[in-house]
Amino acid sequence: MPVLPREVLSLFDEALVRETIPAERHVYYRKWLCYYLDFFATYRLNGADGKNLPAFLEKLREKNQSEYYRRQAAHAVTLYFAACLPTSHQPHPTETGPGSGNRGSGKSISPGNLPTENENPALSSKAKDKGRGNSASIAPGLETKQCVGGEGNPPPLKTRGADWKSVYSTLVSAVKVRHYSPKTLKAYKGWIHHFQNFVKSKDPELIELSDVKEFLSFLAVQRNVSASSQNQAFNALLFLFRHVLDKEFGKVEGVVRAKRKPYIPVVLSREEIDRVVMNAGYPYDLIIKLLYGCGLRLAECMNLRVQNFNFDFGILTVHDGKGGKDRTVPLPEALIPELKSQLETVIDLHQRDLKAGYTGVFLYGQLEQKYKNAARELVWQWFFPAKELTPVPGTKERRRYHLHDSQVQKAITGAVRRAKIPKRATAHTFRHSFASHLLQANYDIRTIREMLGHSDVRTTMIYTHTVRSRTVKEARSPLDF
């Protein structure tokens, strides 16, 4: 294959950077350029003539290369001409085509308007040379040797055992830039890891929609996963294609779908909840009361800080709930004394931490860069702080974290067992009970939806199956009321 002179390779790499092509794809762009140059050397055509580019793309199509790869190849070639030809000889930006565009130069390049050898004498100085292995008709200084700066032909794409590190690093960046929760990132990474194993670590560039279809069918048929798990895997792979691999996802048809079973949540009676609370020690008894009294998710409860409580108005503000949404819920009046007592405990702990010279609490995002002293201020302290300070790896800092979710789940499981409740109750069961008891008390379903923080009332409607309706009456016309 032709060898790219280092000055040409340098210009081409600069064009890739200007086009914001991910670094892990640079080798593939160089590969397409080398294939393009070798193609025209093989068939004794003029590679500097943009009118011949469709012949190269047609050859790729005959080789069963996907449309995605053909577009990538066309993009690589147009970038090569835009970067390596004198500005006066670059194609006019009036025409456009697949893979066109050069944001760095402000010009739009397309395969159909690349300059010919007659328009650029530098490219055609040896255009009369012919034969396989003679690339003088392609670009100045090219020799028929190994590709890409003499460093060897890019390795062929692996059908198994490829490195997926760049996929996971891009995934992390794509999730964080969209401010998705750490749990979403963990779930996506888990499913993508399963998918990677399923395709035997095939090179990400070779991943196609057919692989997704086979994987989703495998989950339903071989693994017998639930419908919700299959949907979660689907969402993870959809994100992988769109935001990591930058590929079209298309329609997923012909996939065996896991059968969705009607889900009726477990609900505890008020008497059962009281028994669980009595068998839970401090501070887990107060946490259970908040989960039930305000309809909180466990993560929302653990992330509460001092500033979330407004005792004057009896309101609890939940920040960054599921989906990054905020909402307010009324504080149970029966809990006000216990909550104020917990606040005093937090204040005392905060004073002791300040005297001990602790660094502060953990803050999310860039808050600490924006508010330098926020980590040590009372309003940012956790309402349910961990018992011990947490050492920060790589530093000498010791910070305060909140109680871990697993500690609360373990405490609730133990309390349910000691209370001899014959139901499979978890922390989320108290949220289900909150909604069901409000519905049982004839509260409007839309009011309950707002208190739960649901985006769609159809999600809230599931609780209509947990209680017996007390509002069913004989059918009458409203005119007779």
**Active-site annotation, residues:** 297, 322, 428, 431, 454, 463
Contacts of 479 (CB under 8 A, 6+ apart): none
End-to-end CA distance of the chain: 89
278/292 Cα distance (integer angstroms): 14
